[in-house]
């Protein structure tokens, strides 16, 4: 009996620590995203993944500067991905964007910069045979 209670307690503690990583106490859970631009003529997007746990539905809003709206995801379920097009006009260098949640106070599970309309192939991708 004591062994079962210990295992149950360990599972609950683990689940709470996983949720603590993505759930936050601040409304909208604003998270910084560093966008590195190589040219203001390039068009960019942000790939955003919803966390696997903690929220049934969440929408992420991408902003620049002092709440300049750039775009948002559709409502995402656990583990869903979406691409938010943020456009062009980012001078070469670092730009700090903010990703905030709507509907559930959580951080994205993962984010990644996407360069749109590239003329060269993505060298990280390997063709399947």
What is the predicted pLDDT for the residue at 67? 73
Helix (H) or strand (E) holding 6: helix 2-22
List per-residue pLDDT tens for the chain, 129 residues long: 544 444 444 444 434 434 445 568 888 999 999 999 999 999 999 999 999 998 899 999 999 977 789 999 999 999 999 999 999 999 999 999 999 999 999 999 999 999 888 776 655 444 444
Place of tokens 């903010």: 98
70, 64 Cβ separation under 8 angstroms: yes
The answer to whether the predicted template modeling score (pTM) of the entire model surpasses 0.75 is no
What is the predicted pLDDT for the residue at 16? 41
Task: Please tell me the distance from the alpha carbon of residue 126 to that of residue 129, in angstroms, as a whole number.
Answer: 9
């Amino acid at each position: 009996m004591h062994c079962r209670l210990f295992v149950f307690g360990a599972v609950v503690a683990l689940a709470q620590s996983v949720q603590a990583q993505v759930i936050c106490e601040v409304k909208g859970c604003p998270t910084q995203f560093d966008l590195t631009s190589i040219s203001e003529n390039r068009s960019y997007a942000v790939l955003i993944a919803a966390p696997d746990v903690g929220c049934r539905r969440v929408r992420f809003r991408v902003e620049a500067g002092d709440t300049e709206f750039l775009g948002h995801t559709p409502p995402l379920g656990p583990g869903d991905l979406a691409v938010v097009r943020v456009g062009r006009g980012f001078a070469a260098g670092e730009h700090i964007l903010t990703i905030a949640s709507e509907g559930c106070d959580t951080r994205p599970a993962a984010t990644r910069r996407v360069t749109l309309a590239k003329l060269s192939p993505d060298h990280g991708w390997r063709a399947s045979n």
